[in-house]
Structure 1
Amino acid sequence: MPSDPAQRIGANSQPTVVLDRTAGSAQKKHTWEGLPAALISGDDRLDYNRPYAVLGGPGTGKTSLLVDAAVEFLLHGGSAEDLLFVTPTKEAATRLRTEIFERVRDTESYAATGTPVRSVHAWAFAIERWIRQRQNAPLPRLISGAEHDAQIRILLRGEVEDGLRLWPEDVMPALTFVGFARQLRDVLLRATERGMTASELEKVGVQFSRPMWEAAGRFLARYNQAQRLGESWNLNASELLHSVIHDMENTPEGQDVALRLRERLRLVLVDDAHNLDPAAARFVEHLIAPGTRTLIAGDPDQCVFHFRGADEAFLSRHAEHDDYRVVLSHSHRLASGQAQAVRALTAHLPHSSTRIPVQDKGAAGAVRTVIAGSAMAEKLHVADAVRRAHVVDGIPWEDIAVIVRGTGQIPSLRRVLLSHGVPVTVDPTSQVLAQQPLVSVLLLAVESVYRRLSVGETRQLLESSVGGADPVMVRRVERALGRAIAHSRTHGQEVPERSDGQPYQSADCLADLLAGQVTDQQYEEWTAFMSPRELDVVQRVTRVIDAGREAYAANAGVEAVLWKVWQATELSTRLQTRALRGGTLGSQADQDLDAVMSLFDLAGDFAERNPQASAQTFVEEVRAQELPTDTRDRRGSHEGAVEILPAHAAAGREWEVVIVSGVQEDVWPAGPTVGGLFGQLELVDYLDRQIDPNVLVSRIGPAVEEEKRLFLLALSRARSTCIITAVDNETDEGGVPSRFFTDIAEACSPLTAQSGAEDGSTELRAADLPRVLALEPLIGELRDAVGASTPPEDEREAAAWKARREDAAQNLAKMARAGIYGAHPSQWWGTAEPSTNHTLVDHDDQVRLSPSRLEALSDCALSAFFDRHRGVEKQTEHQRIGNAVHAIAEAIVGGLSLEDALRAVDAIVPLISDGPQWRTANLLERWREGITRLHEFLTARQEGAEGYTVTSEKMLRVPLGTMDDGHNVVLNGRIDLSVTGPDGATIVYDFKTSRTAKTQGEAQTSPQLSAYQFMIARTDGLSNDGAALVYPGTGDTKAKVVQQAAMSEDEVEDFGRVMLNLARSASGPEFRATPGKHCDFCDFATSCPAQTAGRTLV
C-alpha cells in the first residue's frame, strides 16, 4: 500500500463506518454431565488447588469442553482479561478464537480489550514485552523459522568467506550447504528448548568428545553476539520462552508480572497439551496458581511433534491423580471403522497410563482403501473420490481434505486435482514464499530496478502473469526484433555490440527494451516489426519495470517500490474477480493473492526493522529464506477449495471427508531419523533422560511409533468418510504399501468401483485407471467412442458398438448445446483443417536442398521437416567441437602451423566443454591428437599437389530442375576441402568429428558425398573424381579416410532425379512419416503419426 497516508483510499474524505453483522455458523450445542459439566460451570464444590487433566481420543470433545468452559465463563460475567486460553500453535488459536467469538458475539454485555485465546508463544511474547517495558529495556522481536534459518546461513557463509577454521576439518566443505545449516539450526533449537547456554553446549561437547557440539556451542555464542549488535532484540521461539521464564524467575519486574497474572486469572485453559515442549510447559506452570480453575486437555497418543521438542510429560504428570482426571471416551467424530482403526493403532504403541480407548459415535462406516497400480492411477483415484464426494454426496469443497506425509507429495497431487476441475488450497506453512510463482515474478521485477536482467529472466517476466505471453509469443517478439536488427544492418545503421564485442542478438535487444536502455529512435526502429499483440506484451512488462524504477530513483522505501511494481501489474482486480468466482482458477488466484499479501507483510516488517535498507537487501533476504514462512491469515474461512496439507498440519482439525494419500513403505513410516552430523537425538536423550551420548541406542522402534501416531492422527480427522490410498507395483521404486495397512486391516474395506465396471465387479482393480467423475475425462471418453471407425466383426458386438457411438454422439451434442468446451466437433484437434496448403519455399520462390540434409530426407521427410523448423536451440558440445575443427582446418589450409593449431585447441576446448574438469582434460587430449592427424592429412594434400588447387570451405550452388508446380529446386552446399587437378578432376573431402567412422559400404551409398560429386559434375570447368569422409578423431595413428568412388555420368544423372523427388517430399504441404532404425533416435516421436505416442486423437 502507499507509504504516504494522504495517498491511501479515503484519506481525504469523511468515511462512514457501517457495521454489518453477517450470519455466522450455526451455534454448536453440547450437553455435558457429571464432572465435565461441573468444570464448565465452575462449580464451587470442586477443588481447584490442582489442574484438571482432560483425556480422550480423537473427536471425544476435549477442545469442545475447553471452548464451552470459556464461553460459559464469558457469558456469565467473566472478563476476557481474566481468562488465559493457551494453544500450541497460532493456527489453532485462530480457529478457537473464531469459534468463541461466534458464540458470544450476540451477547450485548460482552466486551474485551484483547483476545483470551493465543498460542503459547504469543502469550510468552506479550508477557515478555510487558516485562521489558517495565524494565525500560529494548522490546523483543520474534523471528520466524525461515528468518532464523537465513541468519544462520549468512553467518556460516561469512565464516567461509573470511577463511575462518572454526569447525572440524572434515565438515568445512559442507558449511555453505543448506542441509548443514538446517541440521545446525535443529540442534541449536533442541539445546535452547532445554535451557542450555552456548557455553554449556560447548562443555557437554568436550565432556563426551563431541567436536560438533563444541563447534555448535561456539557458533551459538557468535550468533548471540551478532544478534546483540542489531537494533532490535531478535528471539526465535525457543529463546523467547527461556527469556520470559528467566525474567519471571529472576527479575523483580518479571516476578511482579507473574504474580499479578496469577492473582488476576480466574480460568486457565490449555489445549493439546501433549504438543508442548518442556520450556512451553514450564512457562504455563508459572501462570497456574492454586485455586485457579485450570483445565489441561490432550491425548499423548496424538503427540506427533517430538522432532520439535514436544513432550507429553506435562500432560501425563497432571493426569496422574484420579480425582483430577476427566475421561472422555465417546468420540463424536469417528464412525465405527475409524474408531476400530484408531484402537488397532494404539494397541501397537507402548503402554500409557493416560490412554483412553475411544468408542465410535454409533454410526456405521469403514475406512476405505484404494491400492492402485501406479502413482498416476493413485492420484486419479484421489481426484475421483474428491469429485464424487462433492458432486454425488453434496459435500462442500472446503469440507474435504487430502492429507499426505510430506510437502514433497503436494505439487503433483495438486496438479492432478486442478486438471480435473477441483479447486485446491495448500497449507501456507508448506510453501516457501520466494518460490510462489507470482512472488518470484514480483521479486524479479523489483530486481530489475537496480540491475540488468539476464535473457532467461527477461523471458520469465514476459511469460509470467505480468507479461501474459507464452513461449510462442516470446519467440514472435524475438523474431520481430531479429527482423528489425537485420533491417538496420541492411540500411547501414549502427547496431549495438555486447561487452564481448559480439553483435547484438534479438534477446539482447529485448533485454534493453525492458530495461529502458534504448533511445527513442531505437525504440521506434526495434518495435516497427511488432504486431499490436507483441507490442502490448513488451509494454506491459516495461510499464511494471518503469514504475518500480521511478520509485527507486526517488529514494522511496522498500514498501513503496514493491507497491508501485504491484500496482503497475494491474493484476489486483483481475485476481480478486477470479478468486470470488471460485473454481480451480479461483483457488489459484486466491493462493496468489495470499502470497502477495504475505510478501507485503514481510516488506512491512523488514522496513520497520531496517528503515534505511535498500530494495536489493530486501530481495536478497526474501530469497535467502528457504523455509516456509509463517503468514498472517486474515480470512475467516477457506471457502470453496479442497485443502492439501501434510499430516502434521492436520493436528486439531477435522473435515467431513479425508483422503490420506501416498501411504507407502519408506514414506509412511519414513526411514528412521538419525542424529545427522550433529547427533541431535543423542543430545536430546542426554538432556532429557541422562543417556550417555556414546551409548548406542536403537532409533527404529521410537521412529516407527512416532510415524504410527502421525498416521493415527491423519485417519482420525474425518467425520464421515476416510479413504486411504497407496500404490502396489513391483516395477516402481517405492511401490510397496505401508506396513500400517496390516495394523488396521480388520477395520478397512476396499472402495467400491462406483465408476461402473462393465464386468459387474465391485472392487477396484489395482492396474486399472479410474474413470474420474469430471468433464474432461468424460468428453474424452465420448469422443473416443465417436471416433472409433472400425466396427467389430461379430454382429452382436457391432450392434452394441454402433449404439455406443450414437449414445456418445447424442451426449456430446447435449454438452455442446450447453456450451461445454470440447464437446463440439469444431473444437476437436483431429478434425481441424490444415493451417495452409501452400508449398514451403524460400522468399525467392525456390526450394533449397543441402547435401547435409539429404540423408535425413531419405530416411523420413517428416522428421527432417520438424528438425529444420524446430527453432533455434543451444548448440551441443559435439556441434561446437565440429565448428572449431572446421575453422582450424580452414586455417591450416591457409598456412596455420601445427604449433599454432594446437595452441588454438588449448584455448578453445576448455571454453566449449560441458563436462567436469577430468572430462575436459580427456577431450583436450583427444583433439590435440586429432588436430595433429588433421594437420598431417592436409599438409600431405598440399605438399603433394603440385599443379593441383587445394580449396577449403568452397560454396557451390547448382540448379536441380523444376517441380510439377513450377517451383525451381537448387542444391546449395559448402565443401570442406576440394583438390582439383589441372584437368579439372576434383576430389571432395568432408570432415567428420565422430569417434566411429562409416564403413566403406555406407560411404559408397552416402547421399551427402553423392551430392558433392553431383555439384562438382555440374560446375563449369570441373569434373567429379570421387569423394571421401575424413575422421581425425577416431584414435587411429592417421586420420581415417573412407572414400566413395567417382560416379559415372549416368549415376550423376540418376542421382539428380532422386534429389528432385526428395525436393517434392521436402517442400510439403504433406510430409510422409517413414518408420525405420532412425526412429530409435528421433526427437519427434510424440508428434509422429507412425508412432503410438504421436497418433492423432479426435
Structure 2
Amino acid sequence: MTSANLWRLVAPEPSGVIQLDDAQRVAATPRDGVRVVLGGPGTGKSTVIASAVVERIRTGSSLERLVVLASSRSAAQSLRRDILRLRGGAEVGARVTTVHGFALALMRDLGDPEQDLRLLRAPDQEQRLRDLLEGLPTDFWPLEVREAATTRTFARQLREVLARARQLGLDPDRVEEIAGEEELYRAVGRFFELHLTVGDFDGALDYAELVHRTRILLTEDSVAEAVRARFDAVLVDDGQELDEVSFRLVGDLARIGSPVLVTADPQQRLGAYRGASAAAVSHLLQLPGAERFDLSTGYRNQEAVTRGLNGLRRALALPEAAQPPTAAPGPVGRVTVTHYDDPAAEQAHVAALLRQAVQEGCQWRELAVVTRRGGSELEVLARELSARGIPVDVDGEDRALGVQAAVRSLLGALAFAAAPEEMAADLAPLLLGPLGGLTAVQLRRLRRAVMQAGENSWEALRRAAGDPIILDRLEDADADAAARLIRLLDRVGGELADGAPVAGALWSLWAGTPWPERLRQAALGGQRSAEEDLDALVDLFDLSARRAELNGISGALTFIQEIEREEIAGDTGRELSALPKGVRVLTAHRARSGVWRRVYIPAVTEGSWPRSRWQPGLLDPDRLAPDHLDAASTGGLVAAERRSFYVACARAREELHVSAAVASEERPDPPSRFCRELGVEPREVHGMPDGFLTPQALVADLRRVVEDPASSPGLRRAAALRLARSPHRDAAVSSWWGVRAPSSRGWSMSDPVVITGSSLQGILRCPRNWFLSRKGGGEKDRNIQATVGDVVHMIAQRAARDGLDLSRMLDLLDDVWPRLRFVREWRGLLERDRLVEALIRFDRWHRHNPGRLLGVELDFEVGLEVSGVPVLLRGTVDRLELHEDRLVVVDLKTTRKPATSAELAEHSQLGVYQLAARLGAFARLAPEATRIGEPSLLQLRHGEVLPMQQYQDVLPEGRSWIHDQLEQAVATLRLGDFQAWESSFCQWCSFQDSCPAVRPGGLL
C-alpha cells in the first residue's frame, strides 16, 4: 500500500484560554451589575462571551450555573463549541441556548407543575389559527377583508401580528387601543383575546407568548429568589437581535440581581423582520448601574476591507454605534466592484474568480458566495457554480428543504397518494420525475394509451396499471415504469387511508422504485448533485421520524404543508457536522457567524439589494410598533437592507469582491448605491470568461485534440499522455463512445412478437427510424398537428359513444382548445376553423351512415404464425361497423394529404385490421357477421359536404400482400438489422443528421 492510500489522524486544535487584549480582558472579567460590550465586526465579541464563561468557571462557578444566550440555535451550537474548546473538555450541563429555550426551561422548572406546557411551532400555530378563523361568525371581520380571512396567507399574517404583539408586551386591550379607528386591527385585538383563551385552555404557547409568560413568572418573589440561587450570571451574545419582550426579560433578570453581560453591534442587526428591536441596546444601557465597554481592535478585516466597511458604516450612522474597528494586521487585502454584461456572465466570472483563488493558494472552504435572498435565487446560483466545476456547500437553512428537487419529488408522490383525485393534474410530473423515470416521449405514449377514458384521469391510469391490454400497447420499458409507479401510489394511498404513519409512507415511496439505487450509483461515481439529493432526503426522513404523531391522509397533508411553507428549519440538530469541503453559498443572515478569506457578493443591484419594491401585507406586524412609521418608510427599509449588506461584506478577511449586472431594457435596475459606498472605482468586464474551467472541459479539450487529424503528431501525443495520467473517469479510453462494447449481447425478439398496424408501417418504411424512435427512446416530440388529431379522435369518440350533436361537439372543442399552444396565434385561429369544418363533415357523415355502430376505440388482440414465429396482432380500431353481414373498419384521419391510390392499396394499418377481423378478433361483437367489408380511411379534412372516404379492397382468401409485409417485418426483427431506407418520409425524420442513407460517410 502506498502512502497516498493511508489515512492520517490530525490532532484537534489545542484548548486553553486565548490571549485577550486589554479591552477584552476587562469586559470578560466577572463582576456584578449590567455590562454592555459594543464592538464592530471582528473585534471578538463572541470571544469575550466564551472567555467570560471560562473565567467564571475558573473563579468557582460551573456551566450549569451560567445562562448563555445566543440569537439562534445554530449560533448557540457554535458558541457552545467555542466555550468547550476554551474550557478544554466536555460538559453535560452546558446551558447555551436561545431566549426561548431558556424561557421554556424556566417555565417547566419553576412554573405551575399542574400545567402541561406545549410549545407551538409556527406550522402548528397557523393550523390552530385557521381552525379558529373557520369558527368565527361571518361579521367578525370588516366587510372588505371577509373573503381574505379564509385564506392561508391571512392566517400567516395574523400569526405574525400576534407574535409581534407579544414581542412588544401588548395585551389584547392595548392592541385595540393602538388600532384607534382602524376596524381591522380592532378585530385583531378581539381575536387576540380569543386566541389566548384557547391557549390557556390546553396549555399551548407560541414563542412570543412563552417569553411573555416567563416575564410574568419572574414577578413572583419565590421564583425570583430561586433564579438568583440557581444561576450565577446571564451572558448574551448578539444582543442587537433581541426583540422587545426578550430584552425586557434580560432586564428583569438584571433587576432581580443576576449579573448580566451583553455583547452587541447595532449596525449588524439583521432580525428586524422578525421583531429584533432597534431599542434593545439603548434599553439595556439605561438599566440601573449599566456600564458600556467598547471593543475597537479589529482582528478580522484587512486594511482594504476595513476601509470599504467604514464607508458603509458612515451611511449606517447610529447614536449607540460601536467604535470603528482598526484593520487587522497583515497584507493590505483587496476590495473590487465589477459590472458585468448580464447575470449569466456575472455567474460565470464569479466561478472563474473562485477557481483563480484556489490557484493562488486558497482552499475551497476558505471562500464564500453571499446572496441577498435564499430559496430559488440561491439554488440557481449554487447550481450554476456546480455546473462550472465549483464544489459548493449550501447550508440547509438557506436552501429550504421544500425547494430541493429530490424532496419535492418525494413530497409530490406523498401528496398524490394521499389525495389522488385532487392531485390528478400532477401525475405527469411524477411519471417524468425520478420516481417514475419516464421520458417525455414515453409519457405521451401512456396518454395515448388511455385516450379512451376521455381525460388523462387518475382512475383511468389506475385501470391502465391493471389492464395488460392497455399497457402492452406501450413499449415494454414504458409499461413497466408506468405500472410500477401507479401501483405504488395506489398501495401507499391505501396504507395512508388505513392510518399508516407518514414516515412509513415516505419510506415505502422511496424504497418502492429504482431511484435509490440510481442515486447511490451516481453518488459513488462522484456526482455532487446526487450527494446533495441524498443529504436532503436524509433530512426529510429525519423530520418525518420526529413527527411520529402524524398519521394517515390528514397527517400526510399536514406534513407536506409544513415543508412547503419552509417553516421547518433546515438545521436538524446534528451539532458535530463534518467540516465543509466546498465553497459556502449562503445568505447574509446565515453568513453572520462565519469568516472566510475571500467573499464574493453577486447581484448587488437596485431593486434587489436594496429591495425597492416592498409591499406590506394586509396585516402588517410593524403597525403595532411605536416606531412603525419609521420602520415602514423607505429610509427604514433601505437601512435594514444596508445593514444586511454590511454584515455580508464584513465576513471577508482578505478580499471582498462585489458585482452586479449592468442595466438593460430587460433588466432596468442599475448597480446598487451600496457599491458606491464601498469607496472603490467599479470596473467594467465584458463577455464571458475564456473556456469552461472544469475537469470535464479539460478532458473534452484533450480528447478533441487527440482525435483531430489537423493537430500535429506531437500535440496529439502530448494530449494522449495527459489523458492517460488523468484520474478523471471521462479520460479513460474505455468510456469513449465507439470504443465501448455493446451494452447487450444482441437483439432479441419478444415471444410472441407483438405487431401493431403503426409499428408494421414504421418497420417497412424505415427500420432504422422505427428502432431509434420506438426502442431507442428518441422519438421526436409530437407536433401540434398530431395533438389536433388526438382532439378530433376524442370528440368523434365521445360523439359516437354519448350521442353528441354538432353543437355539443363544438362546445367540447371550445373546452379543449385553450389547452393547445400554437406558436402563432393566427395559425391557431386558422386551424380551429378547419377543425370546425372537419367536425361538421363528420357530423353529417355520422348521422347518415347506414352501418350499425358496434363500438369506437376498440382494442383487439389475435395470434397467428408468420414464418414459424408466433405473432400477436394488437391495436385499436377507431370505429367498427356492421353493414348487413359484413364487418367494416373505419379509420379516422386528419392528415393534410389523403393517401394515394398506391398507398391505399397496401395500407399496412387497414391490412392489419382486415386480417385481425378475419382471424376472429371481433367475433364476439358481431357473431352474425360472415364476411369482411372494405375498410376505409375517413379523411375529415377533405371533401365537400361529407368527408372523403377512401376504401381498400377486401383481402383475398388465403395468402395476400399483408402476409408478405408481416414476413418482411418479422425477418427484420429476427435479424436485428435495422437498415436505413431512403424515401419521401426522410424529410420529416428526426434522425437524418446521423443517417447513413441520407449522409453516407458523414461524421456522427
Task: Please say which of residues 614-623 and 442-451 is displaced more in the overlay.
Answer: 442-451
Partners of 2:413 and 2:509 within 8 A in 1? yes
- Residues 505 and 638 from structure 1, CA distance in 2 versus in 1: closer, same or farther, beyond 3 angstroms? same
2:118 counterpart SS class: strand
1:738 aligns with 2:685: no
Partners of 1:340 and 1:747 within 8 A in 2? no
In the TM superposition, residue 286 of structure 1 has moved relative to its aligned partner by: 0.5
Partners of 2:789 and 2:893 within 8 A in 1? no
**Of 175, 181, 191, the match for 1:208:** 181
Give unpaired runs (5+ residues) of structure 1: 1-20, 483-497, 513-525, 607-612, 751-763, 792-797, 944-950, 956-969, 981-987, 1045-1058, 1091-1095
Which residue type is aligned with residue 121 of structure 1? H
In the TM superposition, residue 98 of structure 1 has moved relative to its aligned partner by: 1.1
- Residues 67 and 102 from structure 1, CA distance in 2 versus in 1: closer, same or farther, beyond 3 angstroms? same
**Of 542, 547, 550, the match for 1:602:** 547
Which residue type is aligned with residue 666 of structure 1? G
- The equivalent residue for 2:588 is 647
- The equivalent residue for 1:114 is 93
Instruction: Note the 1:386-405 alignment, pairs <5 A.
Output: 386-387=354-355, 389=357, 393=361, 395=363, 397=365, 399-405=366-372
Distance 2:129 2:396 in 1: 23
- Residues 413 and 42 from structure 1, CA distance in 2 versus in 1: closer, same or farther, beyond 3 angstroms? same
Distance 1:837 1:24 in 2: 55
Could you tell me the percent identity over the aligned residues?
Answer: 22
**Of 814, 821, 824, the match for 2:725:** 814
**Of 683, 689, 700, the match for 1:780:** 700
Distance 1:214 1:1073 in 2: 80
Partners of 2:50 and 2:86 within 8 A in 1? no
Alignment deviations for residues 552-579 of structure 1 (CA, whole Å, 9 cap, x no partner): 98x9977788899999999999999999
Instruction: Note the 1:549-628 alignment, pairs <5 A.
Output: 584=528, 588-603=533-548, 606=549, 614-625=551-562, 626-628=565-567
**Of 170, 176, 197, the match for 1:196:** 170
Which residue type is aligned with residue 621 of structure 1? T
Distance 1:229 1:510 in 2: 60
- The equivalent residue for 1:634 is 574
Partners of 1:377 and 1:770 within 8 A in 2? no
Instruction: Note the 1:520-559 alignment, pairs <5 A.
Output: none
- Residues 508 and 624 from structure 1, CA distance in 2 versus in 1: closer, same or farther, beyond 3 angstroms? farther
- The equivalent residue for 1:357 is 324
Q: How many residues align?
A: 908
Partners of 2:857 and 2:877 within 8 A in 1? yes
2:729 counterpart SS class: coil
Distance 1:1069 1:295 in 2: 82
In the TM superposition, residue 448 of structure 1 has moved relative to its aligned partner by: 10
Instruction: Note the 1:1014-1025 alignment, pairs <5 A.
Output: none
- The equivalent residue for 1:878 is 788
- Residues 90 and 570 from structure 1, CA distance in 2 versus in 1: closer, same or farther, beyond 3 angstroms? farther
- The equivalent residue for 2:270 is 304
Distance 2:907 2:521 in 1: 66
Distance 1:560 1:935 in 2: 54
Alignment root-mean-square deviation, CA: 6.5
Distance 1:94 1:1070 in 2: 67
Alignment deviations for residues 814-845 of structure 1 (CA, whole Å, 9 cap, x no partner): 22xx4x31113432336668879999999999
Which residue type is aligned with residue 699 of structure 2? I
1:306 counterpart SS class: helix
> TM-score, normalised to structure 2's length?
0.72
In the TM superposition, residue 308 of structure 1 has moved relative to its aligned partner by: 0.9
Instruction: Note the 1:317-716 alignment, pairs <5 A.
Output: 317-319=283-285, 324-362=291-329, 363-369=331-337, 371-387=339-355, 389=357, 393=361, 395=363, 397=365, 399-408=366-375, 409-419=377-387, 423-433=391-401, 470-471=437-438, 504-506=463-465, 584=528, 588-603=533-548, 606=549, 614-625=551-562, 626-630=565-569, 631-642=571-582, 643-681=584-622, 683-684=623-624, 687-689=625-627, 699-716=633-650
1:123 aligns with 2:102: yes
**Of 782, 794, 805, the match for 1:901:** 805
Distance 1:973 1:623 in 2: 41
Which residue type is aligned with residue 40 of structure 1? A
Distance 1:424 1:1007 in 2: 59
Partners of 2:211 and 2:246 within 8 A in 1? yes
Instruction: Note the 1:269-288 alignment, pairs <5 A.
Output: 269-288=235-254
Distance 1:542 1:936 in 2: 46
> TM-score, normalised to structure 1's length?
0.67
Instruction: Note the 1:14-53 alignment, pairs <5 A.
Output: 24-27=12-15, 30-42=18-30, 48-49=32-33, 51-53=34-36
Alignment deviations for residues 887-911 of structure 1 (CA, whole Å, 9 cap, x no partner): 47879xxxx9xx8534763896588
1:401 counterpart SS class: strand
**Of 661, 683, 689, the match for 1:768:** 689
1:78 aligns with 2:58: no
**Of 121, 126, 131, the match for 1:149:** 126
Distance 1:841 1:568 in 2: 29
Which residue type is aligned with residue 193 of structure 1? Q
In the TM superposition, residue 929 of structure 1 has moved relative to its aligned partner by: 8.1
Alignment deviations for residues 78-101 of structure 1 (CA, whole Å, 9 cap, x no partner): 233442322221211111111111
Distance 2:386 2:458 in 1: 45
- The equivalent residue for 2:999 is none
- Residues 382 and 887 from structure 1, CA distance in 2 versus in 1: closer, same or farther, beyond 3 angstroms? same
Instruction: Note the 1:148-227 alignment, pairs <5 A.
Output: 148-153=125-130, 155-156=132-133, 158=134, 164=138, 166-175=140-149, 177-202=151-176, 204-205=178-179, 207-211=180-184, 213-227=185-199
Distance 1:974 1:378 in 2: 57
Distance 1:840 1:564 in 2: 34
Partners of 1:403 and 1:659 within 8 A in 2? yes
In the TM superposition, residue 119 of structure 1 has moved relative to its aligned partner by: 1.2
In the TM superposition, residue 538 of structure 1 has moved relative to its aligned partner by: 6.7
- Residues 436 and 310 from structure 1, CA distance in 2 versus in 1: closer, same or farther, beyond 3 angstroms? same
Alignment deviations for residues 384-431 of structure 1 (CA, whole Å, 9 cap, x no partner): 44455557525263x443322112222223334445565544333335
Partners of 2:769 and 2:991 within 8 A in 1? no
- The equivalent residue for 1:1011 is 903
Task: Please say which of residues 221-230 and 294-303 is displaced more in the overlay.
Answer: 221-230
Which residue type is aligned with residue 883 of structure 1? H
Which residue type is aligned with residue 167 of structure 2? E
In the TM superposition, residue 851 of structure 1 has moved relative to its aligned partner by: 13
In the TM superposition, residue 813 of structure 1 has moved relative to its aligned partner by: 2.3
2:618 counterpart SS class: helix
In the TM superposition, residue 343 of structure 1 has moved relative to its aligned partner by: 1.0
Alignment deviations for residues 107-142 of structure 1 (CA, whole Å, 9 cap, x no partner): xxxx9663242211111212222332xx33313232
1:701 counterpart SS class: helix
- The equivalent residue for 1:87 is 70
Alignment deviations for residues 995-1038 of structure 1 (CA, whole Å, 9 cap, x no partner): xxx6xxxx5xx66687347869999xx9x9x9996549x9xxx8
Which residue type is aligned with residue 593 of structure 2? G
Which residue type is aligned with residue 156 of structure 2? R
- The equivalent residue for 1:15 is none
